Structure 1
Amino acid sequence: MRDNTIFDDVFRTMMEKMTFLVVPLINDVFHTSYPADVEIVQLRNEYQRVDGEIITDSRLLIGNRIYHIECQSTDDTTMAVRMIEYDFATAVEFARKQGRRYRMEFPRSCVLYLRNSRNTPDFLEVDVVFPDGGCHLYRVPAIKVENYTKDKIFEKSLLMLLPFYIMRYEKRGHEMSEDPQLFQELLNEYEVIRSKLEVEITESGRSELFSDLIGLITRISDHIFRNEEKVRKGIGEIMGGHVLELESEKRARLMAEAKEQAEALGREQGMAQGMAQGMAQGMAQGMARGMAQGEERLSVLINRLILDDRGNEIQKVVTDKEMREAMYREYQL
């Protein structure tokens, strides 16, 4: 298996199955302002060269503009020529006839470098000399993942860069295995990434995206540190095994737990009251009244806590009798 196959696979998975993730990248690179839910049409992603080789790329249509994004895991010095070849083929494919004249428009293109060196330019350039001697500069931006900090990634919602973030550390894997402090710093950084990702995706309402991105992050990490079991296992434990719970799901769970606690509390109060009023009739009436009152009282308290943005105290309220009574007094219930 070629080393870059896994990187290609992860990139294409996001481009084809999580296409919406590319919108913030396009906005950042090309200074556009497409909304997150803009309609994206995926164009045919391969064509055959004269020599028979099949070339694959990632081309997207947004409105009337074509975007071409290449993912590159090495600093290939021939990339500029390859890019203009891809883009020329696209321009020919979508050439528009205007009378006896054709208009060819190149796509808006960039190269996403997962790795780069000091010699990797910020732009890939080709001087194109036409038969009349006129020269035009073909120029596409080179986007280097290494230049994006985790804070910048989340600030700009560039979540599709997260699986490749670990690659900046690939040459330090053995060093981290041997140095507990460096290893812990890496784990702390990925704990922050996991936490920020939870917040970002909770706000977007796409719960399934959390597990999908975690899977891709772990897959790249496992590959990068395939010979460093300690590091690979550490990141896997930080990132793996977490299933995102949406705020609506959390509230429903807490309400269900509160209701169960209220019913139990009502039974307890009703039984005590019933025994005081009489073993037979008193117990039945007391249990019913106590359950209703206890459940209603606790439900009101929980709603008040949610409205006051104190949802993090609900769990303790339903399990800690002393705190529950204190809250009843605080809210005069």
Structure 2
Amino acid sequence: MILPVINEIFGEHYTGNEKIIFSQNEHFLNQQNGNEQERITDSSFRIIGNTEKKYHLECQSSTDSSLLIRFFEYGTQIALDDGEVCGSLLKVSFPHSAVLFLRDTNNTTDTLTIEIATPGGTVRYNIPALKIKKYTVQQIFEKRLLFLIPFHIFAYENHFEEYNNHTEQLNQLKQTYETIKNSLEDLLTQGQIDEYTKCTIIDMSNKVLEHIAKKYATLKKGVKDIMGGKILEYEAKTIRNAGITEGEEKGIRSLTEVCQELGSPLIDTIEKVAVKFGLDEETSRKKVLMYWKN
């Protein structure tokens, strides 16, 4: 699901046949006092097709003064991770970086820029920004930007009070999420996504909703009744049956890969696999780590 997002941001033309290799999200940055500080990036990976390119994406609720500094720190460390010393020459390649803004205003920039003054000259590179709120449900499905679905609720954040207190407005929001759910079902029927992908998108959507709308019980219940409540039993049975018919290992591998592609933390993925396949935590951890790409 990440390839259409990369195509949208960078104007690439990836088809889905490329190989994606996720890098470790933990990086240790060297400090001036000699100590190391651990920093976790949202997503760092490389795409291998006709050429090989490195990418680094960050989700950001809003812009802040430290954002560019973090991008430079992460980019430098990612470049050093794959750096190559050839005699007296150090060769490093910075990743193509982008920020996904969950919230934006009229003052939110479309492009961030880093400028580095070196003894050999000045280097500048841009970091494009994707503003999630600007995409309608129709555009998300037309462009196959399914990665954005869990964050689509941010587009309605300024009207949470109205949705929570007025049935008519809430029904309009529920219709929107009915469209999302039905569109996912259509993609499943057409074979363009699998059951694991659909269920993971819905699960991530519910988690984001739980966090962002925690003060709005009526709104949460209304959306969850559409996206989650009616499919929980079906979801569990479908995934378990898929594990039985296709082999439990294949099911665990598929679910692990989808969770990682969506940026789900390792610990959450271990918990999800344990619940879906009836495993204890230690067994689930061992199996997930078999397929988790570092």
Alignment TM-score > 0.5, same fold: yes
Which structure shows the higher helix fraction?
1
Q: Are 1:226 and 2:217 an aligned pair? A: no
Identity across aligned pairs (percent)?
A: 31
Which structure shows the higher strand fraction?
2
TM-score with structure 2 setting the length: 0.71
Alignment partner for residue 107 of structure 1, among 70, 84, 95?
Answer: 95
Q: Which of 1 and 2 has higher RCO (CA within 8 Å, sep 6+)? A: 2
- Match for residue 48 of structure 1? 28
**Aligned pairs (5 A) from 1:76-91:** 76-91=64-79
Question: Does the Cα contact within 8 Å between 1:116 and 1:144 map onto a contact in 2?
Answer: yes
Secondary structure, in 3 states, of the residue corresponding to 1:218?
helix
Q: What is the CA–CA distance in structure 2 between the aligned matches of 1:56 and 1:126, rounded to whole Å?
A: 20
Q: Following TM superposition, by how much is the alpha carbon of 1:162 offset from its aligned partner in structure 2, in angstroms?
A: 0.3
RMSD of Structure 2 on Structure 1 (CA): 2.1
1:221-266 deviations in whole A, cap 9, x for unaligned? 12222111111110011112234799xxxxxxxxxxxxxxxxxxxx
Question: Does the Cα contact within 8 Å between 2:29 and 2:77 map onto a contact in 1?
Answer: no
Question: Does the Cα contact within 8 Å between 1:75 and 1:117 map onto a contact in 2?
Answer: no
Q: Following TM superposition, by how much is the alpha carbon of 1:83 offset from its aligned partner in structure 2, in angstroms?
A: 0.6
Q: Are 1:149 and 2:136 an aligned pair? A: yes
- Match for residue 61 of structure 1? 46
- Match for residue 31 of structure 1? 11
Question: Does the Cα contact within 8 Å between 2:46 and 2:53 map onto a contact in 1?
Answer: yes
Structure 2 unaligned blocks of 5 or more? 239-294
**Aligned pairs (5 A) from 1:135-174:** 135-174=122-161
Question: Does the Cα contact within 8 Å between 2:116 and 2:122 map onto a contact in 1?
Answer: yes
One-letter code aligned to 2:65: T
Q: What is the CA–CA distance in structure 1 between the aligned matches of 2:24 and 2:114, rounded to whole Å?
A: 25
1:296-331 deviations in whole A, cap 9, x for unaligned? xxxxxxxxxxxxxxxxxxxxxxxxxxxxxxxxxxxx
Secondary structure, in 3 states, of the residue corresponding to 1:40?
strand
Structure 1 unaligned blocks of 5 or more? 1-20, 247-333
Q: Following TM superposition, by how much is the alpha carbon of 1:201 offset from its aligned partner in structure 2, in angstroms?
A: 2.6
**Aligned pairs (5 A) from 1:235-314:** 235-240=223-228, 241-242=230-231, 243=234
Secondary structure, in 3 states, of the residue corresponding to 1:121?
coil
Q: Following TM superposition, by how much is the alpha carbon of 1:205 offset from its aligned partner in structure 2, in angstroms?
A: 4.8
Q: What is the CA–CA distance in structure 2 between the aligned matches of 1:32 and 1:201, rounded to whole Å?
A: 25
Q: What is the CA–CA distance in structure 1 between the aligned matches of 2:189 and 2:13, rounded to whole Å?
A: 23
One-letter code aligned to 1:169: Y
Aligned length: 226
The structure whose Rg is larger is 1
Q: What is the CA–CA distance in structure 2 between the aligned matches of 1:187 and 1:37, rounded to whole Å?
A: 35
Q: What is the CA–CA distance in structure 1 between the aligned matches of 2:6 and 2:205, rounded to whole Å?
A: 21
Secondary structure, in 3 states, of the residue corresponding to 2:45?
strand
Q: Following TM superposition, by how much is the alpha carbon of 1:154 offset from its aligned partner in structure 2, in angstroms?
A: 0.4
TM-score with structure 1 setting the length: 0.63
Question: Does the Cα contact within 8 Å between 1:60 and 1:67 map onto a contact in 2?
Answer: yes
Q: Following TM superposition, by how much is the alpha carbon of 1:98 offset from its aligned partner in structure 2, in angstroms?
A: 3.8
> Structure 1 residues 37 and 202, CA, compared in 2 at 3 Å: closer, same or farther?
farther
Alignment partner for residue 194 of structure 2, among 185, 203, 206?
Answer: 206
- Match for residue 287 of structure 2? none
